[in-house]
C-alpha cells in the first residue's frame, strides 16, 4: 500500500534522508520512531507529495509519487506536524471546503460532526486564529480522518494534546481500519498502536521489524529502552 524505494533528500549540504526503503502492507499501522531531526517529517512530506525527493521513488496505492502526485493526494490524508489554516476561516468553513473539494456526498460531508464530539471541539464557528494549540491539533485530526482516506500519513498526531485526547487519538488510529504510517517521538504511542516500527536516526533506518521482535532483539523491556539502546550504538555524525 505504501512503498518507498531508496528515497534520499538533501537540503543544500544537509542530507535529511539517505536511501530509505520501506513497505507498509494494506491495513497495517506502521510507526516511524525517530530522534529529533532524524528526517521523519521530510519522509512523510515526500510520501504526501508535498516536497520532491532528491532521488528515489515511492508509491501509494500503486500510484507513483513522482508521476501521479495528484492521484496520490486524492487517496490519502496527510496530517502535518504543524497545522496551518487560513486564519479567518472558521473550523466549520474549513471542513465544508474540504468536503466540497473532495466531492463528498451529504452524509460523508457531515462525518466530521461525530469526530468533533469525540474530540470535544465545540468551537467550530470561531475563526481558527482564535484556537489554542490543542484545538488546532484536534481540527487537523478531524480534517485528516473525516473523509475516510485509504491511507493516513500522520506526523506527530498527539502533539499538543493532553493525556485524555492523546488516548482518544491512539484509539482512532488503532480502529481506523486503513493503512497508517505514523511518525512520532513517542515510544509509548508506537508500542501501543503499531504492528511494525522503523527507527529512524540521522536520515537512515537503523532498525525495523515487528514491534515485539525489535524490543526482544535489543534485550529491552519496552520500545523506549529499545530506541535509546539502538540510537546510543550509532555515532552522532549524519552521513
Ligand atoms: P523533529 O523530530 O525534530 O521534528 P524530524 O525527524 O521530523 O525532526 P525533519 O524535520 O525531517 O526531521 O528534518 C530533517 C533534517 O532536515 C534536519 O536536519 C532539518 O534541519 C533539515 N531540514 C528539514 N526541512 C528543511 C528545509 N526546508 N530546509 C533546510 N533544511 C531542512
| Residue-wise DSSP of 85-142 | --TTSBHHHHHHHHHHHTT--HHHHTTHHHHHHHTT---TTSBGGG--HHHHHHHHHH
DSSP per position, 170-225: HHHHHT--SEEEEEES-HHHHHHH-SEEEEEETTEEEEEEEHHHHHHHTT-SSHHH
Mode of pairing for the β-strands spanning 76-79 and 151-155: parallel
- Over residues 85-108, the mean pLDDT reads 85
Tell me, yes or no, whether 37 lies in a domain.
yes
Residue 235 has what pLDDT? 65
- Over residues 100-128, the mean pLDDT reads 83
Tell me, yes or no, whether 97 lies in a domain.
no
Q: How far apart are CA 196 and CA 208, in angstroms?
A: 7
> What residue has cell string 486524492?
74
Residues 6+ apart with CB under 8 A from 230: 199, 201, 206, 207, 218
Q: Domain limits at 223? A: 2-87+149-233
Q: How far apart are CA 111 and CA 18, in angstroms?
A: 39
Is the CB of 38 inside a 6 Å radius of any atom of ligand 1?
yes
Q: How confident is the model at residue 87 (pLDDT cuts 50, 70, 90)?
A: confident
- Over residues 88-92, the mean pLDDT reads 91
Residue 203 has what pLDDT? 95
Is the CB of 184 inside a 6 Å radius of any atom of ligand 1?
no
Is the CB of 203 inside a 6 Å radius of any atom of ligand 1?
no
Tell me, yes or no, whether 111 lies in a domain.
no
Least Cα distance to 162 among 205, 99, 120, 203 occurs for: 120
Distance 39 CA to ligand 1 centre (A): 6
Going by alpha carbons, the residue nearest to atom 29 of ligand 1 is: 11
Least Cα distance to 70 among 80, 61, 82, 79 occurs for: 61
In this prediction the pTM is 0.93
- Over residues 41-70, the mean pLDDT reads 96
Tell me, yes or no, whether 217 lies in a domain.
yes
Is the CB of 42 inside a 6 Å radius of any atom of ligand 1?
yes
Which grid cell is 123? Answer: 468551537
Distance 238 CA to ligand 1 centre (A): 12
How many beta carbons lie within 10 A of that of residue 216, not counting itself? Answer: 12
Atom number in ligand 1 closest to CA 238: 18
- Work out the mean pLDDT of the chain and round it to a whole number: 92
Total tally of structural domains belonging to the chain:
1
Tell me, yes or no, whether 216 lies in a domain.
yes
Going by alpha carbons, the residue nearest to atom 31 of ligand 1 is: 11
The string of pLDDT tens digits covering residues 188-203 is: 999 999 999 999 999 9
Tell me, yes or no, whether 170 lies in a domain.
yes
Distance 41 CA to ligand 1 centre (A): 7
CATH number at residue 205: 3.40.50.300
The string of pLDDT tens digits covering residues 161-194 is: 999 999 999 999 999 999 999 999 999 999 999 9
Confirm if 173 and 153 have CB atoms less than 8 A apart.
Answer: no
Mode of pairing for the β-strands spanning 55-60 and 2-11: antiparallel
- Over residues 201-218, the mean pLDDT reads 95
Amino acid at each position: 500500500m505504501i512503498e518507498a524505494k531508496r528515497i534520499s533528500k538533501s537540503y543544500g549540504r544537509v542530507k535529511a534522508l539517505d536511501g530509505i526503503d520501506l513497505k507498509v502492507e494494506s491495513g497495517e499501522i506502521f510507526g516511524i520512531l525517530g530522534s529529533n531531526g532524524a528526517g521523519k517529517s521530510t519522509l512523510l512530506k515526500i510520501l504526501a507529495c508535498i516536497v520532491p525527493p532528491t532521488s528515489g521513488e515511492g508509491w501509494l496505492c500503486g500510484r507513483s509519487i513522482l508521476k501521479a502526485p495528484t492521484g496520490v493526494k486524492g487517496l490519502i490524508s496527510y496530517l502535518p506536524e504543524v497545522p496551518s489554516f487560513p486564519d479567518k476561516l472558521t473550523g466549520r468553513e474549513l471542513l465544508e471546503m474540504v468536503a466540497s473539494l473532495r466531492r463528498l456526498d451529504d452524509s460523508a460531508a457531515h462525518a466530521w460532526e461525530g469526530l468533533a464530539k469525540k474530540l470535544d471541539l465545540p468551537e467550530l464557528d470561531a475563526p481558527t486564529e482564535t484556537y489554542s494549540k490543542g484545538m488546532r491539533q484536534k481540527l487537523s485530526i478531524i480534517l485528516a480522518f473525516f473523509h475516510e482516506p485509504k491511507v493516513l500519513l500522520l506526523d506527530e498526531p498527539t502533539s499538543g494534546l493532553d493525556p485524555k485526547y492523546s488516548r482518544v487519538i491512539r484509539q482512532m488510529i488503532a480502529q481506523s481500519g486503513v493503512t497508517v504510517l505514523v511518525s512520532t517521538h513517542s515510544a509509548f504511542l508506537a508500542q501501543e498502536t503499531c504492528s511494525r516500527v522503523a527507527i529512524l536516526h540521522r536520515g537512515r533506518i537503523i532498525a525495523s521489524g515487528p514491534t515485539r521482535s525489535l524490543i526482544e532483539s535489543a534485550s529491552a523491556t519496552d520500545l523506549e529502552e529499545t530506541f535509546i539502546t539502538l540510537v546510543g550504538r550509532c555515532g552522532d555524525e549524519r552521513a
